[in-house]
Structure 1
Amino acid sequence: MGREVSPRPEASDGYGAPYSALAQVYDRWMAADRVPYEQWLGFTGKRFVESGLEVRNVLDVACGTGMTIKALQDHGYEVTGVDASASMLDVARTRTAPGTELLCLAVPDERLAELGPFDAALVCFDGANYLTGQDALATTLHQLVGALRPGGVLVFDLSTRRTFEEIAALGEFGEDFGDFAYIWNTRHEPDTPVYEYLVSLFVPEGELFRRSVEQHAQRHFTRDEVHNALRATGFTDIAVWDNYTERDATDTSRRETWSARRTTGSIPR
C-alpha cells in the first residue's frame, strides 16, 4: 500500500495552483538544451564523492516531472521523489523506473522527516525559493535533517535577489513555442523578498487555444539567512557555489548552489 499523500495545493484568487497546467508542457519549456541537467548531476556527484559516504539512496524534493530522478537512476542511484504538484508527479511516473516512490507533499511537511534515512537529499531548480512562509526554510531544513542519516549530504539551489530583480524588470514577457505559448507577469511589493508570478499558458484545443492562469510565489534569501538556518537545524560542512560550478558564489551570482552535511552528533530541537 502506498503512503498517504497530501491534496493538491489550493488555487487562490481564482488562479490555478502552481504547475497544475504547466505540467503538460514543462519538459518542452525546460528542455535539456535550456537547463543543464548533466552539469547539475556532475556537480552533485562530486559532492557525494567528497562526503566519503557510499551514497546509494537519494531523496529528491521538488522533483517535478522526474528529469533529475531519471538521470540519477541511470547512474545507479535509488531515488524517492517528493513534489507539491500531483500533475507534475503524473508526468514523472511515465519517466522514472517502475516502482519509484513518488509522493505528493507540499513542504514543509512533518512527514518528510519520516521518509528516510537517506544518504543524500536534493532540492533543485529553485524549489527552495517556493518556501515563502515565515520560518519555512528553517522548518524544511529541520525536516531534511530528520530524513538524512548522520553525515548525509544535502545539495540545493536558490535563485538570488539579482535574478528576481532582473525578472521583475522585464515586466510582462512571453514566448511562443509553436505548440504552446505563455505570458509571464510579475507582482512585487517594494522592500519585500517575495515575488508573485502570474503565468498564462495557451495550449491548442481544436482550432482554438485554451488559456490557463497559474499563480506562483517565490522569495530570495540572504546568504546569512541560509547559512544560519543550516547551522541552527543541524548541518555542518556548509559551502555555497556559483550555479553548480566549482566557483565560489559571489554577489553577482544569479543562482547559488549550497552543499552541507547532516551532523553526526545530536540534532538541535
Structure 2
Amino acid sequence: MARGPVAAKPPYGGIAGVYDRWMAADRIPYEEWFAFTSRRFAEAGREVRSVVDICCGTGVTVRRLQEQGFGVTGVDASPEMLDIARRRAAPGTELVELVLPDERLARLGRFDAALMCFDGANYLTGEDALARTLGHIATALEPGGVVVFDLSTRLSFEAIAAMGGFGERFDDFGYTWDTRHEPGSAHYEYLVTLTDPDGREVARERHQQRWFDRDEVEAALTAAGFTGVAVHDNYGEQAAGPRTRRDTWSARLP
C-alpha cells in the first residue's frame, strides 16, 4: 500500500538516529576542536573544571569533555538528539532541552567555561538572538570564565548555496539537501530529506541558519561583558581572514 506524504519534523527530529554515522569522525575533526578548546581553557582567568556544552547534539563533545575530567552540562533544542546524548554521556549527566535564546540558560548554574560547536550559533536567526544568547552565557559563567564557539561564514554559506541540491547514499540510508536563500539577506534555509535503502522518503526537515558579520559578533561579545575577544580560522591558531569558512571565536570574562 502506498504511503502518504511524510510530515516535516523539527531540525534533527528525523536525522538524529543516523547523525553520528553521517557526521563520522572522518568528516568532523573532533581532535582539532578539542585541542583548540584546551588551549583556550588554559588561557582562561581561572581553572576550568565545569563546562556548559551548548548545542551538544548527540553528546560526542559532552562525553569527550567528561573523559578529560570536566563536569559537563549539555544543552540542545532537539529531544531526539538529547535521547542519544543520554546514552552516551556519563550516568547522571544533566542534559537540558532549550530552544535558544532562552533566559533559563543563564540559570543552569555557574560554569568555568561554555562551548558551542559545529554551527550551533548559526541557528540563532532571530532578532538579537546571538547577542541575547551571549548575554545568557555570560551570566552563567564565573568571573574569568571563557567561551568558545564557531560560526560558518558568509563564504561557507555561499559555497553550499552554489551547489544547489545534492545528496549522498550510505548503506542503510540516504539524504538530499536543497538550499534556499532569501536574496539580499544573511538567512538561508536548508530542506533535508532522509530516505531508506530503497530511496523512499522517511523524514523531512527544514533548517534555518544565517551568517554573521564579524563586527556584529564582536560587538555582541563586548556588550555581554567579554574581553580578550579573538577570532581564529577553523579551530587553528591562524587569525580568521577573508577566505575563512568557519570563524572560531573565543573570549573571557574579566
Q: What TM-score do the two structures reach when normalised by structure 1?
A: 0.90
Determine whether 1:253 maps to 2:225: no
Which position in structure 1 is the counterpart of 2:8?
15
Equivalent pairs counted in the alignment come to 248
Determine whether 1:230 maps to 2:221: yes
Match of 2:27 among 34, 47, 65: 34
Displacement of 1:262 in angstroms is 1.9
Q: Is the 8 A contact 2:53 2:115 kept in 1?
A: yes
C-alpha distance in structure 1 between counterparts of 2:72 and 2:39, whole Å:
17
C-alpha distance in structure 1 between counterparts of 2:73 and 2:41, whole Å:
17
Letter matched to residue 216 of structure 1? H
Match of 2:120 among 103, 124, 127: 127
Superposition RMSD in Å = 1.1
Q: What TM-score do the two structures reach when normalised by structure 2?
A: 0.95
Displacement of 1:208 in angstroms is 7.4
Match of 2:147 among 154, 157, 165: 154
C-alpha distance in structure 2 between counterparts of 1:45 and 1:67, whole Å:
16
Displacement of 1:203 in angstroms is 2.9
Runs (5+) with no aligned partner, structure 2: 1-6
Q: Is the 8 A contact 2:48 2:112 kept in 1?
A: yes
Higher RCO (C-alpha 8 Å, min separation 6): 2
Displacement of 1:16 in angstroms is 1.2
Letter matched to residue 102 of structure 2? D
Which position in structure 2 is the counterpart of 1:5?
none
Determine whether 1:88 maps to 2:85: no
C-alpha distance in structure 1 between counterparts of 2:143 and 2:101, whole Å:
21
Determine helix, strand or coil for the equivalent of 2:196: strand
Runs (5+) with no aligned partner, structure 1: 1-13, 264-269
CA deviation profile, 1:189-213 (whole Å, cap 9, x unmatched): 1110000000000135xx7744211
Distance 1:117-1:240 versus aligned 2 partners, 3 A rule = same
Which position in structure 2 is the counterpart of 1:267?
none
Taking the TM superposition and a 5 Å limit, the aligned residue runs for 1:110-189 are: 110-189=103-182
Determine helix, strand or coil for the equivalent of 1:51: coil
Distance 1:74-1:192 versus aligned 2 partners, 3 A rule = same
CA deviation profile, 1:219-259 (whole Å, cap 9, x unmatched): 00010000011101111110000000011000100000000
Taking the TM superposition and a 5 Å limit, the aligned residue runs for 1:66-81 are: 66-81=59-74
Determine helix, strand or coil for the equivalent of 1:25: helix
Percent identical among aligned pairs is 62
